[in-house]
Structure formats: structure tokens, C-alpha cells
Amino acid sequence: MGRIEPDDSKKNETCEGEMPSHVAIIMDGNGRWAKARHMPRIFGHNAGVEALRNIVHCAINYNIEILTIYAFSTENWRRPQDEIDGLFALLKQFVRNDLTTLHKNGVRIRIQGRREGLNNEILSLIDEAEEKTKNNNKLTLVICFNYGGQAEILDATKAIATKVLSGEIKVDEIDIETFEKHLNSAGWSHPDLIIRTAGEQRLSNFLMWQSAYSELVFTQVLWPDFETKDFEMAINEFKKRKRRFGGI
């Protein structure tokens, strides 16, 4: 794990090492950013969308294969209803306003998370975005919405248990590969690098299974202030790491 801080004297410095192919981001700090400006939390979430647009562009420039973002967790339903409504409105706005540009730039969109609890308008937009961009291969943008790592593991366990009861799978046939086939992320690589903004140093139920050997980078920068140089510093920090995956 590591914490990074902005250092303009090193902003042009590059590090030798392997690039991550899959980067995941916990976009934290929107509320604190808005509070510091005496504005409602949704103002920070709006600013966070602008930061996301920039980082998607960065990921394309760095030839990142998958960019996964934590947009709305299964625990976020505990937030005030007006904030929840605002987050849902932002998802709709993002898809409606950015879908054409993302598609033109070769971005494939996938929405990961439970569909239960989402209204028909949201479900229709999700289907539209995934269908329109399904053949794009420049970058896969995975939006974790109504997502929780524990919920994903639980859902996979239930699906496997159902198949065991029906005789489709035998208990001694269950291995890691079998389990991963029943996750929402089946077929995708695990994140090489997970970035969390705004100073907290925890995963907060994000990609619990997939993060087993992810490199973690934390920064004090609030998400709306997260810029190209911050993304570059996280990439450079990753490139310094020695990844052994349990070996020597």
C-alpha cells in the first residue's frame, strides 16, 4: 500500500516498470469538496463527473484496457433520499450526454451491480449504453452502480448453491475458476491498481474478491480535484512495485 501526494517538481518524472492493464478507482471526497465551498453534496458529485471525464481520457491515452469506477454502493441507499436521487440523475445525465462521445472514442461501457431497486428508466439507459458500445475495444469502462463486493460474492455463492442442488455442479467441482465464472466480473482481468482519493485507506466493500493481489495507492486529493498529474503519479507508484503474487 502507499500514499501519494502531489509534487509539482516531479510531475514530468516517469518510472520504468510494467503498466497496469486494469485500474480501479474509489472516487471519494465529493461531499467534503462541496462542504468546503458551502455547497450541497450534489454540487460535489457534479464536479466529480467532470473529473471522471478527464480520467477516462487519461486512461485511453495510457492504453489502459479496463477502468473500473465505484459510483454507487449497496450501502449508499442509507444516504438521504435527495442525494440518492441526485446520484441517479447524474448517472442518467452521464449516459445521455457522454454516450456518443465515449462510443466515438472506442469505449465499451459495462454496468456492474445488482439491477434490483433500479427503476425502468435507469435499466433502459444501462441496456442502451451496453448494447451500443458492446463491440468497442479501446477501453472498457466498468461503472459499479448499486454494487457491493460482499453482495457480489453472496450472489455468486447462491447461484452455485442452486446449481449444486439441481445436480448441475458437484461440490468437489467447485474451485476458484468455477466461482469466478459466477461473479459479475466473469471474464475480466482483476484490477492491477486500485486508487482511492480523499485520504481514506480502506476498500469499503469494493471488488473484495478481485482485489486479492491489487496494488493499492491512496491520495489526499479529493476526487473533484483529481487531475491528470495525480493519475500519472499513481501509475508511476504502481510501476515501482514488485508484484510477486505470493511467490518469491
Is 8 tagged catalytic?
no
Residue 11, pLDDT > 80, answer: no
Quote the pLDDT of residue 6. 42
Q: Mean pLDDT, to the nearest integer, of 4-12?
A: 41
Q: Render pLDDT for 27-80 as a digit per residue (tens, 0 to 9).
A: 999 999 999 999 999 999 999 999 999 999 999 999 999 999 999 999 999 999
pLDDT over 90, % of the chain: 78
Nine-digit cell string for 111: 454496468
Q: Is residue 76 among the annotated active site residues?
A: yes
Query: Which of these is catalytic: 7, 8, 28, 120?
Result: 28
Q: What is the chain's alpha carbon radius of gyration, rounded to the nearest angstrom?
A: 19
Confidence of residue 13 (pLDDT cuts 50, 70, 90): very low
Whether residue 156 has pLDDT greater than 50: yes
Closest CA to 110 of 98, 96, 94, 127: 127
User: What is the spatial distance between Cα 94 and Cα 31, in angstroms, rounded to a whole number?
Assistant: 19
Cα dihedral 230, 231, 234, 238 in deg (nearest 10): -160
Measured in degrees and rounded to the nearest 5, phi and psi for residue 73 equal -95, 165
Full-model pTM: 0.89
pLDDT tens for each residue of 81-102? 988 988 888 888 888 889 999 9
Is 52 within 8 Å of 30 (Cβ atoms)? no
The amino acid at 50: E
Structural domain boundaries of the chain?
Answer: 18-148+189-240
Q: Residues 46, 54, 61, 76: which is the catalytic one?
A: 76
* Mean pLDDT of the chain, nearest integer: 91
CATH topology of domain 18-148+189-240: Undecaprenyl pyrophosphate synthetase (3.40.1180)
Q: Is the alpha carbon torsion for 53, 58, 59, 61 positive or negative? A: positive
